[in-house]
Amino acid sequence: MKKRIAALAAACAVLAGGIFLLTGRQEMQTIPAADEAERIAYLRSQGREGWLVGEQAVTVPSDWGSCPEYAALQEAQQLPLRQAAGKAGTVYTYALSGSTMQAQLLVADGILAGAMCYDPAAPEIREIFLH
């Protein structure tokens, strides 16, 4: 089972890299996410409905060496994760309607810096939000 999860996580990373290569280096998006209404609007723009189940204050890491897949996902989505490095932020976790999946939105300076969906039972498996 662990090999299967690792293979799926690797496939997600490859997919993120492929999307990044196909889209090329484009300008990062600036998506407002300072308040609940803006975060819910973002989820809806991705075809998802959900409700807040948690939030946690964080400092956005400046080195993503321990989790390069997460950084690659954000680059593929053109989200400004690297520009938020070292800043104070908040991770908002949403339960998604009709699914066991959850969404995590990383917000720094009122801007969406990172976003992902995952299954809490297998958090290594990440799904990409596409704009």
Instruction: Write out pLDDT tens, residues 12-48.
Output: 444 444 444 444 456 889 999 999 999 999 999 999 9
pLDDT at 46: 93
Q: Please state, as a whole number, how many other Cβ atoms lie within 10 Å of the Cβ of residue 67.
A: 11
* Distance (Å) of CA 115 to CA 2, 8, 17, 43, 79: 24, 18, 16, 10, 8
pTM, whole model, 2 decimals? Answer: 0.77
Domain positions in the chain are 2-127
Collapsing DSSP to helix, strand or coil, 90 comes out as strand
How many Å apart are CA 123 and CA 125, to the nearest integer? 5
Give residue-wise pLDDT tens across range 75-84. Answer: 999 999 999 9
How many Å apart are CA 84 and CA 91, to the nearest integer? 13
Its sign, for the CA torsion 61, 65, 71, 76, is positive
